[in-house]
Structure 1
Amino acid sequence: MGTWEIFTIIGTISFSLQGGLIAMEKKYDLFGVYLFGILTAFGGGAIRSILIDEPDYQLWNQSKLFYISIIAITLILLFPSIFLASRELWGNFFDAIGLIAFSIQGSIVAVKLDLPVGAVVVSALVTATGGGILRDLLSHRQPIVLGEVIYGLWVLLIGIFIGMRWATTTTHLYLLFIVFTTLRILSFVYHWKIPVRKLKE
């Protein structure tokens, strides 16, 4: 199993769980829970494929990842108390893992297509946040990427690191995953924020 596949599995599990948690928070039915979990996990990759014209992306042939997603969502439904006991903490933890894993995955895909740095950054952003944005819009939530706590900046930096070919080995990618997952977790634990420029009324 290669690094790319490991990151894909991590992201799929993490985003499926987080999507399911949000649907349960909104008191949606079983269909809604599965829909939100799958949409969060696969929506970003589908949008990325269209934007960068990815030739070998096969959404409907990812049976293993779909099964993994279904299993993860089912666990949420069977054992909700385990996941909902500390809903905010676990929701952010799942999101951090999925965000960074999908950022790296999206960057790798763009690099394999020999795309420029800008395209790598866009690929990382769309892969990591596209499904979550769709989920949040459908659930009438403010997209996390547009919130005050640092979120998209970590994705941007990952895209730059990989796009500039500063991270090319398996060790580099795992190191990026550990460092930026930690930074994302610290950013919501300590409420790190990017300065906001507000207009005077």
Structure 2
Amino acid sequence: MSVSWEILNVVGISAFAISGAIIAMEEKYDLFGAYVLGLVTAFGGGVIRNALIGLPTDVLWKQELMIYVALVAITLVLFCPAKWFQYCKKWLNFFDAIGLAAFSVQGALYASGKGLPLVAVIFAAVMTGIGGGMIRDLLAGRKPLVLQKEIYALWSVITGVVIGLHWLEDGWQLLALCVLVVALRMVSTIYGWHLPRIVQRKMG
């Protein structure tokens, strides 16, 4: 599981750091702001998860290698040729889907490994998967994806249930789950799948 953990960590951090950097450039952030937004996107979900399930939030500073991974990913986006950047923008939802999948699985594994109950595993999956993206969107002045009509957090919930019930534990199975979540997220984006919306009833 440790190998799976590290792979998911690197993939999730890289994907979310890239998505944060892309949005920072779209919003015309300066260089410092772009790095801040990329790092917050990459690590925000993990910090929120730790705070809410009673784990030390300063664990972030023990992930020195992962911080460097995020910085490299952000730098590659910020200094890539303009033609490549336009190409990257087209894949923003894909990077976001990868981050969602990898971090949802990673967060669920983290809580499950601590022996926490199913509801905590689901909660950890959701907050790790969507937390960084929510902070990113709020700082960029955008409506968070999770609050829009597209299905987003549901895939994190399903991931938490699957891992919390110990249906999948093998490394290859977890990788397959990540791929499935990415695919479902992209399909839901392309076809506009959404959960039922609450319609306010008119009085009288």
**TM-score, normalising length: structure 1:** 0.94
Question: How big is the shift at 1:116?
Answer: 0.6
Q: Could you tell me which of 83, 96, 109 is aligned with 1:81?
A: 83
CA distance in 2, matches of 1:62, 1:148: 34
5 Å-filtered alignment, 1:61-72, equals 61-72=62-73
Residues 89-140 of structure 1 deviation map (CA, whole Å, 9 limit, x = unaligned): 3110000000000000000000011001100011011111111111211221
Question: How big is the shift at 1:81?
Answer: 2.9
Q: Is residue 21–residue 37 contact of structure 2 (8 Å, CA) maintained in 1? A: yes
Give the aligned CA root-mean-square deviation in angstroms. Answer: 1.5
What SS class does the counterpart of residue 179 from structure 1 fall into? helix
What SS class does the counterpart of residue 28 from structure 1 fall into? coil
- The match for 1:96 is 97
Q: Is residue 83–residue 90 contact of structure 1 (8 Å, CA) maintained in 2? A: no
- The match for 2:200 is 199
- The match for 2:12 is 11
- The match for 1:34 is 35
CA distance in 1, matches of 2:159, 2:88: 29
Unaligned runs of 5+ in 1: none
**TM-score, normalising length: structure 2:** 0.93
The amino acid that maps onto 1:116 is P
Residues 146-181 of structure 1 deviation map (CA, whole Å, 9 limit, x = unaligned): 111111110000000001111111122111111111
The amino acid that maps onto 1:96 is A
Matched-pair identity in %:
44
Question: How big is the shift at 1:28?
Answer: 0.7
| Matched residues, number | 200
- The match for 2:178 is 177
Moved more, 7-16 or 124-133: 124-133
Q: Is residue 20–residue 38 contact of structure 2 (8 Å, CA) maintained in 1? A: yes
Question: How big is the shift at 1:85?
Answer: 3.3
- The match for 1:150 is 151
CA distance in 2, matches of 1:69, 1:91: 16
- The match for 2:51 is 50
Moved over 6 A (4+): none
Q: Is residue 20–residue 76 contact of structure 1 (8 Å, CA) maintained in 2? A: yes
CA distance in 2, matches of 1:83, 1:157: 33
Residues 57-108 of structure 1 deviation map (CA, whole Å, 9 limit, x = unaligned): 7211211111111111111111143132362x31100000000000000000
Q: Is residue 49–residue 57 contact of structure 1 (8 Å, CA) maintained in 2? A: no
